[in-house]
Amino acid sequence: MSPSVPLQEMIRAIRSARTQCEERGVIQRECAAIRAQFRQADNGGRSHNLAKLLYVHMLGYPAHFGQMECVRMIASPRYSEKRVGYLGAMMLLDEKQDASLLITNSIKNDLSNSNQYIQSLALCTLACMGSAEMCRDLAPEIDRLLRASNSYIKKKAALCAVHIVRKVHDLGELFTKAARSLLTEKNHGVVHGAVVLITELCERNSETLERFRKTVPDLVQIMKGLVISGYSPDHDVAGISDPFLQVRILRLLRILGRNNEGASDAMNDLLAQVATNTDSTKTVGNAVLYETVLTVLDIKSESGLRVLAVNILGRFLLNNDRNIRYIAMTSLQKIVGTDHNAVQRHRGTIVDCLKDQDASVKRRALDLSLALVSASNIRSMMKELLSFLSSCPPELRSQTASGIFNAAERYAPSQRWHIDTILHVLTTAGGDVRDETVPNLIQLITNTSELHCYTVHKLYRALLSDISQQPLVQVACWCIGEYGDLLLRGECQETEPVQVTEDDVLDVLETVLQSHMSFPSTRGFALTATMKLSTRITENVDRIRSIVSIYGSCIDVELQQRAVEYNALFKKYDHMSLFCSAAICIWMHLNNVQSAGLSPPLCGVSQVCDLLDLLGGSEQPLQPSPALGSTAPPMPVSTANTVGGDLLDLLGGLEPTPITLLFKRLMHSPWLNTDLKLMQPSTLSVFSVVATVTVYEKDGVTVTLSCEKQSDSGLTVTLTASNSTESDIRGFTLQAAVPKSVQLHMKAPSGDSLPARGAAKVTQMVVLNNPNKVA
Amino acid sequence: MQFMLLFSRQGKLRLQKWYVPLSDKEKKKITRELVQTVLARKPKMCSFLEWRDLKIVYKRYASLYFCCAIEDQDNELITLEIIHRYVELLDKYFGSVCELDIIFNFEKAYFILDEFLLGGEAQETSKKNVLKAIEQADLLQEVRYTPNHSHVWQI
């Protein structure tokens, strides 16, 4: 060992510095000395100086002034200087520095040096930091070394070639032949290098991959040799012969066997042998088994072999070593789509891993558990997932919540269970759910009419105990506003009855309004709910008025606007019967999936349109929703000029429910512009104007709506659709939904395809009955 | 392998080997963040973690953390073995290696690493061969050192 006393002295000096300031002082002095030395002519201590500089660099101090010195040292005839020079090059010069090009020539010379250790330095440096240019320059040299040198150099040249191919893909061609021949060598290092090179070549170029498929038998032979052979002291690691080489060969076999029956067949036996005979007590054995499993699962293997592989993963899951469990779950995740049943067998163990201490393991277990949820195990899985949610690390909460929602949506055994589950999530992790959860839940509740009573009771109780979880509070407020009458009625089939007075309800809403924890949007929900209750409760309307008027001077502009508008309503109309819930909510789902000739982007016609767009027509741009059947995204607030002066934007913009939005639009619609109409107690009278309104016009499809009042409580609506595009639209259906106080009867449509160019129209009659004359 | 870092329990860097081209600034940033992340982990936790788009494999030997960043297709378990092999090589070379050896002879630690890994891949799978090569290279380098710096002999 060469003494590097100056270096070690300096290191000692730096380490003995007691403060950061002192250390900086020492380093500055040293750097000054080094710089001076660099400028001097060749002296004996050059390598020491550079080494000192490299140490300083590792501590984080600037060392760019050493770059040229590296270049000089590399060119030195002395090995000690070359060695440190090349080390410096690898540390200080990367391909982005201009100085790196200067060493290309030195490297070239050193590659042909008679001393293999000097050659080795050059190869190492090129493989570490060689830029694309340098690689192009020196590739022929490397190829030469691949063919004619000793094994020490060959193995390094092979890995150097790997780097070259990564940098300049086209040069792969150059090395193909040499790589092939290297496989036959005896030296493990060379074979290893060759396998890595071939792997790289095959990954980059599919033609090369085809050519190298012929090597599968050779590779199988080499592996067999390693697996069966006796103890080889040189390469043995805990009883496994050269595990590094084994793993690389298995990986190459994976690439060669993928999507190819012939190659996969040829390696079947070998894989089975490795899988069964490898000792799995130590990490190294498991490393080989792991690679084997990955290969088996990726190629076209026999089913027996696949089962063997999945069983190995199952065994891994039970291993005491956490690393092995983690690996197992990562691998199972990859195959849960294709070998679902096999993975299901290990569901119990996977779910147990949810309780592991390690966050990485937990995350894996969560991913896998969510993938394993199915209709048959939904209840038990959900129990586990919900208990996981209450104790999981914060960074996993939102993922867990969305996973639970998705699973619940797909496999909910009953509506009530679904609602219960969502409520549970909102109570436990309300802060981490996505924004669309609130409208989604509202829609779900709306659609489950038989559970309105149960839901509103449950939400009311939840609200009583905790008003900090915003999504929950928002949904609860909306529910109370919508179904407050059910709450006040007191009895409910599904839960124990509880006496709720109007004051109680208003108390709760007021608490939400006043709480500092409530977001502005939540307050908006609460205020609107309070307003809505004025139509449902009888005794405390005054209290509602006073609550609302307080917010007329609220700092939050949105709330203030609402409060002022509600106040005005109070003054003008005693019946708040206009208000919500009486309207017809027609959702047009245009199912256009089969329409020929419409290019995919235009299939935006297949969007869920809220009625507000239908009535508003071109006033606001339609927001395309990403998937068919999803709820309408919240529409922007319409503050468009309302025809008729003091028509009010009654409902603000934040409640995206179809009913409320419809109302907003009805108010703005040009053919409803007289106050007179608004005075009518029955909202249905709003439609007593027999006019045909174009409610939807986009992408060539036009839908018009005309109403005819039949009786005091009945109304016939005729919907007509026509198509002015160049192609037919098939599978066209209209769907409608109404609040439960209104009866809906849809007559059969005249047809379900819209011929092109308006050749014919599709009409459909809808009869509405409002026997209770609910407003 | 994209890079390997060795750092102490106090977060001081003892060795850094980068196999991908990055600016000094980026390297410092990555080092800082990664060191923080690894040091924050509890003793019994998994040796693997996902960080940015890389897989990180780390293991603690006495007071030093050995941390490697590998790519998606690389085998984590064999990377643990690579780390272990490197530690064994250091151990054999220095004779019962400790952190101080690596601090005061950092350039040797690099030379050994460069004899074991090349371009981020293992180049020699036999422990004996690696050590033999280092020995030979050291002999080549032997410098006779005299106090007044004027005479340098090379063997």
Position A470 in a domain: yes
Nearest-by-CA chain A residue for B148:
A44
Pairing of β B64-70 and β B3-8: antiparallel
Q: In B, which residues are within 8 Å of A159 by CB distance?
A: 118-119, 121, 123
Domain boundary among A556, A581, A606: A581
Q: B154 vs A189: CB contact, 8 Å cut-off?
A: no
Mutate to test the interface with A, among B75, B89, B148, B150 (most CBs of A within 10 A): B75
Shared domain check, A576 and A697: no
Closest Cβ–Cβ partner in A87, A129, A358 for B46: A358
DSSP letters spanning A538-553: SS-HHHHHHHHHHGGG
B113 CB within 8 Å of a chain A CB? no
Domain boundary among A516, A546, A581: A581
Give me the residue label for tokens 């308006």.
A758
B155 CB within 8 Å of a chain A CB? no
Position A209 in a domain: no
Q: B107 vs A59: CB contact, 8 Å cut-off?
A: no
Q: A291 vs B154: CB contact, 8 Å cut-off?
A: no
The reported pLDDT for the residue numbered B143 is 53
DSSP letter at A603? G
Position A725 in a domain: yes
Q: B81 vs A237: CB contact, 8 Å cut-off?
A: yes
Q: In A, which residues are within 8 Å of B135 by CB distance?
A: none
Position A206 in a domain: no
Q: A117 vs B42: CB contact, 8 Å cut-off?
A: no
For residue A495, give its domain range: 435-581
Q: A326 vs B82: CB contact, 8 Å cut-off?
A: no
Q: A322 vs B114: CB contact, 8 Å cut-off?
A: no
CATH number of the structural domain spanning residue B26: 3.30.450.60
Q: A323 vs B123: CB contact, 8 Å cut-off?
A: no
The reported pLDDT for the residue numbered A273 is 92
Q: A286 vs B126: CB contact, 8 Å cut-off?
A: no
The reported pLDDT for the residue numbered A249 is 95
Average pLDDT by consecutive 10-residue portion of chain A (775 residues)? 64 90 90 86 78 91 89 90 92 81 90 92 93 92 91 94 94 91 92 95 92 92 87 84 94 93 91 91 93 93 89 90 91 86 87 85 90 88 89 86 87 85 83 78 81 82 81 84 79 71 81 82 83 76 80 80 79 49 26 26 28 35 34 34 30 38 45 32 34 68 72 71 74 71 75 70 75 58
Nearest-by-CA chain A residue for B106:
A55
A531 and A490 Cβ atoms separated by less than 8 Å: no
The reported pLDDT for the residue numbered A45 is 77
B28 CB within 8 Å of a chain A CB? yes
Q: B21 vs A11: CB contact, 8 Å cut-off?
A: no
The reported pLDDT for the residue numbered A773 is 58
Is residue A629 helix, strand or coil? Answer: coil
Closest Cβ–Cβ partner in B48, B125, B154 for A326: B48
Is residue A704 helix, strand or coil? Answer: strand
Shared domain check, A563 and A444: yes
Mutate to test the interface with B, among A84, A242, A329, A358 (most CBs of B within 10 A): A358
Closest Cβ–Cβ partner in B21, B46, B78 for A95: B21
For residue B113, give its domain range: 3-145
Position B154 in a domain: no
Residue-by-residue pLDDT tens, chain B, 155 positions: 999 999 999 999 999 999 999 988 999 999 999 999 999 998 888 999 888 889 999 999 999 999 999 999 999 999 999 999 999 999 999 999 999 999 999 999 999 999 999 999 999 999 999 999 999 999 988 754 333 333 444 43
Within 10 A of A311 (CB to CB), how many other CB atoms are there? 15
A&B contacts, CB < 8 Å: 175
Tell me the three-class secondary structure of A3-53, residue by residue: CCHHHHHHHHHHHHCCCHHHHHHHHHHHHHHHHHHHHCCCCCCHHHHHHHH
Domain boundary among A549, A581, A613: A581
Q: A55 vs B125: CB contact, 8 Å cut-off?
A: no
Closest Cβ–Cβ partner in B23, B114, B141 for A2: B141
Mutate to test the interface with B, among A70, A237, A294 (most CBs of B within 10 A): A237
Nearest-by-CA chain A residue for B107:
A51
Q: In B, which residues are within 8 Å of A60 by CB distance?
A: 13, 28
A659 and A739 Cβ atoms separated by less than 8 Å: yes
The alpha carbon of residue A374 is apart from the nearest alpha carbon of chain B, in Å, by 28
Mutate to test the interface with A, among B22, B35, B55, B118 (most CBs of A within 10 A): B118
Q: A287 vs B80: CB contact, 8 Å cut-off?
A: yes
Residue A709, judged by CB atoms within 10 A of its CB (0-12, 13-18, 19+), counts as middle
Which are the contacts of A12, defined by CB distance < 8 A and separation ≥ 6? B104
Q: A15 vs B136: CB contact, 8 Å cut-off?
A: no
Within 10 A of A302 (CB to CB), how many other CB atoms are there? 14
Mutate to test the interface with B, among A20, A135, A196, A245 (most CBs of B within 10 A): A196
Residue A617, judged by CB atoms within 10 A of its CB (0-12, 13-18, 19+), counts as middle
Nearest-by-CA chain B residue for A292:
B75
| CA distances, A96 to each of A101, A419, A737 (Å) | 10, 58, 65
Interfacial B residues in 51-110 facing A (CB < 8 Å): 73, 75-78, 80-82, 85, 103-108, 110
Which are the contacts of A640, defined by CB distance < 8 A and separation ≥ 6? A619, A620, A668
The reported pLDDT for the residue numbered A615 is 34
Q: In B, which residues are within 8 Å of A284 by CB distance?
A: 77-78, 81
CATH number of the structural domain spanning residue A738: 2.60.40.1230
CA angle, corner A252, sides to A250 and A255, nearest 5? 115
B152 CB within 8 Å of a chain A CB? yes
Q: B123 vs A189: CB contact, 8 Å cut-off?
A: yes
Number of domains in chain A: 2
Q: In A, which residues are within 8 Å of B10 by CB distance?
A: none
Q: pLDDT by residue (tens digit) across B91-121?
A: 999 999 999 999 999 999 999 999 999 999 9
Q: In B, which residues are within 8 Å of A155 by CB distance?
A: 123-124
A356 and A369 Cβ atoms separated by less than 8 Å: no
Assigned token pair, A48: 């020491």
Position B91 in a domain: yes
Number of domains in chain B: 1
The reported pLDDT for the residue numbered A710 is 62
Which phi and psi angles does A79 have, rounded to 5°?
-65, -40
Is residue A707 helix, strand or coil? Answer: strand
